[in-house]
Amino acid sequence: MGSHSSSAHGENYINCEKGLWSWLTTIDHKRIGIMYMIAVMFFFFVGGVMALLLRLELFAPNATAGVGQVLKNGDAYNQVLTYHGAIMVFMVIVPGIPAILGNFFLPIHLGAKDMAFPKINLLSWYVFMAGALLAVATFFLSKIDTGWTFYTPYSIRTGTSVVVMVVAAFIMGMSSILTGLNMIVTVHKLRAPGMTMHRMPLFVWAMYSTAILQLLATPVLGITLMLLAAEKIFGVGIFDPALGGDPVLFQHFFWFYSHPAVYIMILPAMGVISEIITAFSRKVIFGYTAIAYSSLGIAAVSFFVWGHHMFVSGQSELAGIMFSFITMLVGVPTAIKMFNWVATIYKGSVSFDSPMLFALGFLFLFAIGGVTGIMLATLPIDVHFHDTYFVVAHFHYVMVGGTLMALMGGFYYWFPKMFGKNFNEALARLSFVFIFIGFNVTFFPQFILGAMGMPRRYFDYIPNYEQLNKVSTVGSWLILIGFLIGLYAIVQGIRKGSKAVANPWGAKTLEWQTASPPPQFNFDVEPVVTAGPYEYR
């Protein structure tokens, strides 16, 4: 335990410099993490409101007066759908855990004073905000309706602000690359004395694998989006079949990034879960190296599976079979993680505080998301389920049930450290109950709807689907209530929470060895690491 000389005077990263300007020009990774948190929470709110609108529209068939016609027509529905997807993917789930929790805790986990490139870290926040605001601006220019995937040839023919939107996505990709690059160098070069690679917390391993993906996948998306912009402006003909181009090539390029991007979304969540489960089971994590290297394994395999998005695109059958097989292969490292987490809980002294509840919620929901993922990886089943609500339910279980549960859990877990305050535990648990139940009520019926044949992206449906859609929409209101309670718990905790101790959960990783909130340079004395991260018993 480091001596708390500066923290004894109550000086920490929050109050060491005052004023809005000191935040906007800060190069402290912790403050940058908080700035990302505010931005991402705002975009999550916007994307969430759009999700509620979509569900409200689907509450009843359009023939029903009133609720069935919230969005006047299919165009409006497509636009809201596109912005919901694009905002949630590019501005919430992809940057979420890496930019907020990763920024804040990766250097502290390593015993470093800051990220390797603090100024680039700040730059990446500004780049992200510029891209995000540009993307939001298209909403007021001419709303795009392509879906977040910008599939050609439709995206070439529809409204012109597709160009602005893809430039915005390109800019946000730059930010993602800069963050990833920063993290890799930090892990390689800034570890404290004694912090070997195999003593790093598993959260760091997950962030490291994510950063590799960000670095290797994002440039390909960047050039793809630039080519799409060139296609729209100059009519080059690369993706336009009317000019001799190949629209499926766009899908190949797009998913070469965007499938690894799915793991950019989920790997950090797995890191958070590893931390929470070991801390709240009071047990050394089971299979440390297996969990660490399975992150790298998932990252590696993720580059060879993009074709499963294109089973019905007209690619060769052999390609379909290969992609089907390799996709199932991702299940192996993922299952390694799942079993290790369960083995960690087994015979542990489990305490069910709110972070652990979210972690257990993650295990439950991610298991469903993962198993349905294997179903969709199976070529013939995917041909049947393609572009139905089964797919919608699957990726919401993985991304929301996985990433968002982990983000909330990680947020409550590290809240006392980040703000030096305690939150209201009862409210946090209540928030979990609403989100967990609401989530299942919303998305489980969509598996059934999908199996019944309800197509995705449609703004109307036949009466057969009405009952399950009603249930699903009611579920979305429960999720809303859950997040509002959670938001209240967070705001109230920041404003009025009692003072937190340095290590409220009795956890072992480095961040708990410094004051809450941490001093400006993380540690008063540089820590020397002498043992692994989870020395519980």
Of the two residues 81 and 238, which places its CB atom closer to other proteins in the complex? 238
Show the beta-strand stretches assigned E in 133-248: none
- 93, 156, 220, 330: which one contacts other proteins (CB under 8 A)? 220
153 binds other proteins, rule: CB under 8 A: no
The backbone torsions φ and ψ at residue 431, rounded to the nearest 5 degrees and listed phi first, read: -60, -45
The yes or no reply on residue 511 touching other proteins (CB under 8 A) is no
For position 175 contacting other proteins by CB under 8 A, the verdict is no
Sketch the per residue contact string, 247 through 266, with other proteins: x for CB under 8 A, - otherwise: --x---x--x----------
Q: Which stretch binds other proteins (CB under 8 A): 96-104, 212-220, 278-286, 348-356?
A: 212-220
Q: Is 157 in the site for other proteins (CB under 8 A)?
A: no
Residue 244 Cβ vs other proteins, minimum distance, rounded to whole Å: 4
Residue from the set 133, 141, 197, 223 that interacts with other proteins by CB under 8 A: 223
Least distance CB 527 / other proteins (angstroms): 13
Distance CA 117, CA 103 (A): 12
DSSP per-residue letters across 463-491: GGGHHHHHHHHHHHHHHHHHHHHHHHHHH
The candidate with the shortest Cα–Cα distance to 257, out of 218, 200, 230, 294, is: 218
Rounded least distance, CB 471 to other proteins, Å:
44
Q: Could you tell me how many residues of this chain bind other proteins (CB under 8 A)?
A: 41
Contacts of 31-35 spanning 24+ positions with Cβ under 8 A: 32/103, 32/121, 32/122, 32/125, 33/99, 33/100, 33/101, 33/102, 33/103, 33/104, 33/105, 33/418, 34/104, 34/418, 35/125
CA dist list (Å): 405 to 279, 308, 353, 399? 17, 26, 14, 9
190 contacts other proteins (rule: CB under 8 A)? yes
- Strand-pairing partners, residue 421, are 499
Q: Hey, which residues between 88 and 147 contact other proteins (CB under 8 A)?
A: 112-118, 120
Select 222 or 370, whichever has its Cβ closest to other proteins: 222
The answer to whether 529 and 194 have CB atoms below 8 angstroms apart is yes
**Under rule CB under 8 A, residue 427 binds other proteins:** no
Choice from 4, 189, 198, 496 touching other proteins (CB under 8 A): 189
Report if residue 219 touches other proteins, rule: CB under 8 A. Answer: yes
| Contact call for residue 521 and other proteins (CB under 8 A) | yes
Q: Residue 505 CB, nearest distance to other proteins (Å)? A: 27
Provide, rounded to whole angstroms, the least separation between the CB of residue 221 and other proteins. Answer: 9
d(CA 459, CA 283): 49
CA distance 436 to 442: 10
Which residue from 138, 155, 179, 218 is in contact with other proteins, where contact means CB under 8 A? Answer: 218
Beta-carbon contacts of residue 221 (< 8 Å; ≥ 6 apart): 169, 170, 173, 253, 254, 256, 257, 258, 261
Residues 228-247 that bind other proteins (CB under 8 A): 230-231, 234-238, 243-246
Other C-beta atoms within 10 Å of 292: how many?
A: 23
Q: How far is the CB of 138 from other proteins (least distance, A)?
A: 23
Quote the least distance from Cβ 254 to other proteins, whole Å: 11
**Is 236 in contact with 262 (CB distance < 8 Å)?**
no
Tell me the CA end-to-end span of the chain in Å, nearest whole number.
19
Token couple for 183: 């993290």
Binding residues vs other proteins (CB under 8 A) = 112-118, 120, 177, 181-182, 184-185, 188-190, 215-216, 218-220, 222-224, 226-227, 230-231, 234-238, 243-246, 249, 253, 256, 521
